Every structure is written in C-alpha cells, then in structure tokens.
Amino acid sequence: MRAFTDLRSVPTWVHDAADTLLKLLSESVPGGVYHANNSGDTTWYEFACEALERAQVSGAVEPTRIVDIDLPARRPSYSVLDVTATERVVGTTRDWKDALAAAIEVGLWYDFR
C-alpha cells in the first residue's frame, strides 16, 4: 500500500461528523462557518500506519509524495479544517486517533487479513 507523506488532513469518522452536526442544529448558533470534523491532523501515510497498527493488520505502507504523481488536478498539501468555532458551541471534538480506534472497535474496518 502506498500513502502520501506530503498531504496533511483530518480523517473524520462519519459518526462523529453526524453527531457534531446534530449538536450544532440543536443549538442557537450565530452565523458563520462550522466544520464537523475530528480534531488533530496527520498525513495519509501516518493515518495508514496507525490504522493498520490499531487493526492489528500486518502490512507495509510505502511512503510516497503526491508531488511525484502526475494528477489532472493539484491537491492542497494542507487541508486541515479549523474546528474552533464548532468547539465553542459543542465542546471539544474527538481526536482522529480516538475516532479511528472507536471505528475499528465497532467493526467498521475492512478485514485485509
């Protein structure tokens, strides 16, 4: 498996995003932009390594860079969404590593073994 070392983002479990959206909808919030994602940030390479380790799946993750691949559209190297406004309303959002662990625990993981 290859994964990018030069793209930073926030992996977000859809369960957490839905929970955050429901909390935002139940509050009287001022106008603005609210992101419903987990907190923290990582590269796709770090995410892949963490996911395999937590799922106890053996396998190598080969680091690669997106700048070395010819794609029809450029991708931003940093696409971490700011949850500051959201956290003022709903409280601290769950870190992506904790969300990943929860998703694996409930079986929302592909079985590659």
Domains of the chain, residue spans? 2-26+33-105
Q: What's the rounded Cα separation, in Å, for the pair 47 and 39? A: 13
Give residue 110's pLDDT band: very low, low, confident or very high (50, 70, 90): low
pLDDT per position as a tens digit, 53-80: 998 888 899 999 999 988 898 889 999 9
Closest C-alpha to 111, from 56, 60, 63, 48: 56
The structure tokens listed for 112 are 């590659």
Domain 2-26+33-105 top-level CATH class: alpha beta
